[in-house]
Amino acid sequence: MTAQADHPFVYDGGALCCEAVPLTQIAAHVGTPTYVYSKRAILAAYRRYVEALAGRSALVCYAVKANANLGVLNLLARAGSGFDIVSGGELERALAAGAAAARIVFSGVGKTEAEIGAALAAGIACFNVESAAELETIDRVARAAGRRAPISLRINPDVDPRTHQYISTGLKFSKFGIAVPEAEELYRRAARLSGIEIAGIDCHIGSQITSIDPYVEAAERVFDLVDRLGAQGVGLRHIDFGGGLGIAYRCEIAPSIEQFIAALLACADRRGHGGKTLLFEPGRSIVGNAGALLTRVQVIKAGAAKNFAIVDAGMNDLLRPALYEAWMDVQPVVLRTGEKRSFDVVGPVCESADWLARDRSLTVLAGDLLAILSAGAYGMSMASNYNSRGRPAEVIVDGDQYHLVRPRESAADLYATETVLP
């Protein structure tokens, strides 16, 4: 486990707790699998961003797709956070959670006219535009509504974030963003559209980034363009550096939130843009280390070449290992003595990709609880109902209390809206 100050999962007397609540208590009352989040850790990470930006005109827009639970969004909304959304569904969710529309930015490559209309009617802060065609659509929808839509163009700076290829978004062969020369032309076009108001510029180069260099490289390219646009009379109010800061899943040395912000502020100051409104869109670095997936071992199976601990959580509950071969830390909830053996921790889903951890040295018996740590981001938000499995319950711990913020789905929930032919 990492020794980060706000890591909320710690052992007390041999039993793993989230803040002051033993995970055994949650498993007994809520069952498993269950996602457990720490209120303290979520808010601490958010506040680290805010404090690192103190004295600046800045807005932290939490990326909803990392963890979209209403309870999580509401904690952040109450703390004053903005939100980065990527769909009309996330817009509705954020507003239902109490988000201020004026602090919402809307990213994504395939916004529909209906989604654009809804976001415009809600009065969001900015559309982060990803193509010339999208700009034309937003202009048309805005003019039809008698409005001007605030926009930013998402630049593809063509830098390698040195992370997994599935979560790299700022390289020139990526579907995301607009190449710099094209963006320059598109800003000139945007300035002539009566349904468009130019608000800013943005980029987002990837996720789980563990080095500051690619950010600074991307920022330099954004500032080059901002300067060229300024010389042509195209002014921008804000610069949005996106999200993507990595967290420690294992022993990665990710830059701290403070180091990350300081590097970008220094770059902005050096380039003479430190006085503009600066936006950040962190997702994983706010909620990742704040959550764990609590699961129970169903079966211990000795295969021909490997031992398997088959647990009640599967790839449908936590997709990261199957999708990215991600390494997730697995810890016993109650420490036992006895010889350790090597296990693959796998789920019950009928796919060979259904594994959560490989070759882990554990002392574990059927019936034991395991915690899969750093599962607060891209865990529940990527969960599916594959194999007609209801998605896990979700709990937020607050000190020595916990709150069920989403009950476990039942099988009946899953087919409740399906029908048979007459």
Ligand X SMILES: *Cc1c(COP(=O)(O)O)cnc(C)c1O
Q: What residue ranges bind ligand X (CB under 6 A)?
A: 63, 65-66, 84, 86, 107, 204, 207, 242-245, 281-285, 377
Closest separation in Å from C-beta 391 to ligand X: 20
The position carrying tokens 């750093």 is 374
Q: Which lies closer to ligand X via its Cβ, residue 63 or residue 151?
A: 63
The answer to whether the CB of 276 falls within 8 A of the CB of 51 is no
Chain mean position to CA 76 = 13
Could you tell me the smallest distance in angstroms from the CB atom of residue 384 to ligand X? 18
Contact 16, 371 (CB under 8 A): yes
What are the structure tokens assigned to 120, written together?
């415009």
The answer to whether residues 395 and 34 touch, using CB atoms and an 8 Å cutoff, is yes
- To the nearest whole angstrom, how small is the minimum distance from the Cβ of residue 286 to ligand X? 8
CA distance 118 to 90: 11
Our CB check for ligand X shows the closer of 260 and 343 to be 260
Q: From the CB of 121, what's the least distance to ligand X, in Å?
A: 22
Q: Are 248 and 1 in contact (CB under 8 A)?
A: no
- Between CA 345 and CA 185 the distance in angstroms is 52
Q: What is the DSSP string of 245-294?
A: B---SSS--PPPHHHHHHHHHHHHHHTT-TTSEEEE--SHHHHGGGEEEE
> Which residues does the annotation mark as catalytic?
350
Q: Quick one: 242 or 347, whose CB is closer to ligand X?
A: 242
Q: Which residue sits closest to ligand X, CB atoms considered?
A: 283
Three-state DSSP state, 222? helix
By beta-carbon proximity to ligand X, the closer residue of 288 and 332 is: 288
Q: How far apart are CA 267 and CA 228, in angstroms?
A: 17
Cα separation, 9 vs 41, whole angstroms:
10
State which residue, 362 or 377, has the beta carbon closest to ligand X: 377
Between residues 240 and 354, which has the closer beta carbon with respect to ligand X? 240
Cβ proximity of 373 and 331 under 8 Å: yes
∠ CA 243-244-250, nearest 5°, is: 145
Which is nearest to 364 in space by CA: 417, 301, 413?
A: 301
- Name the DSSP letter for residue 410: P
Between 200 and 244, whose beta carbon lies closer to ligand X? 244
Rounded least distance, CB 40 to ligand X, Å:
20
Q: How far is the CB of 163 from ligand X (least distance, A)?
A: 9
A 10 A CB-CB count for 270 gives 12
What Å distances lie between residue 146 and 114, 133, 155, 180, 195, CA to CA? 16, 20, 28, 30, 8
Q: Which is nearer to ligand X, 287 or 315 (CB)?
A: 287
Of 324, 377, 289, 276, whose CA–CA distance to 62 is shortest?
377
Query: Taking the CA of residue 59 as centre, how many other CA atoms within 13 Å lie in the half-sphere pointing to its CB?
Result: 21
Q: Minimum CB separation from ligand X for residue 107, in Å?
A: 4
Length of the chain: 422
Q: How far is the CB of 75 from ligand X (least distance, A)?
A: 17
